[in-house]
Amino acid sequence: EAGVAQSPRYKIIEKRQSVAFWCNPISGHATLYWYQQILGQGPKLLIQFQNNGVVDDSQLPKDRFSAERLKGVDSTLKIQPAKLEDSAVYLCASSLDYRTGYGYTFGSGTRLTVV
């Protein structure tokens, strides 16, 4: 079974620039998550999709972050404009259905550095 694919692996941008990350979940997984992991901390959920609908975006800084999951398959997370504090690893994960409470599979993440 193919895993969760993420790209790019690394990204360096200047503050105030924009950036986009891509995630392709495991085939058939209805739930897709984007987590932000700041160095030295555990991951924090930014947004959670069930198919192509948002079920939780309470911790997404909506003035600069946006995400979409068109057609309920792959997803894009965008930051515009980036700030220094956005430097982090952005992890994508998917699961069959969030209601089961388990079955998460994570991608390898994108390391973003904002300078």
Partner 1 sequence: AQTVTQSQPEMSVQEAETVTLSCTYDTSESDYYLFWYKQPPSRQMILVIRQEAYKQQNATENRFSVNFQKAAKSFSLKISDSQLGDAAMYFCAYPGGATNKLIFGTGTLLAVQP
| CB closer to partner 1, 13 vs 106 | 106
CB of 56 to partner 1, least distance (A): 5
Give the strand pairing for 75-79 and 5-7: unpaired
Largest Cα span, the chain: 40
CB of 18 to partner 1, least distance (A): 23
- Per-residue binding letters, 14-33, with partner 1 (x by CB under 8 A): -------------------x
- Per-residue binding letters, 31-50, with partner 1 (x by CB under 8 A): --x-x----xxxxxx--x--
Q: Establish if 1 lies at the interface with partner 1 (CB under 8 A).
A: no
Query: Mapped to the 3 state alphabet, what secondary structure does the chain carry?
Result: CCCCEEECCEEEECCCCCEEEEEECCCCCCEEEEEEECCCCCCEEEEEEECCEEEECCCCCCCCEEEECHHHCCEEEEECCCCHHHCEEEEEEEECCHHHCCCCEECCCEEEEEC
Residues 54-113 contacting partner 1, CB under 8 A: 55-56, 89, 91, 93, 98-102, 104, 106-109, 111
Binding region for partner 1 (CB under 8 A)? 33, 35, 40-45, 48, 55-56, 89, 91, 93, 98-102, 104, 106-109, 111
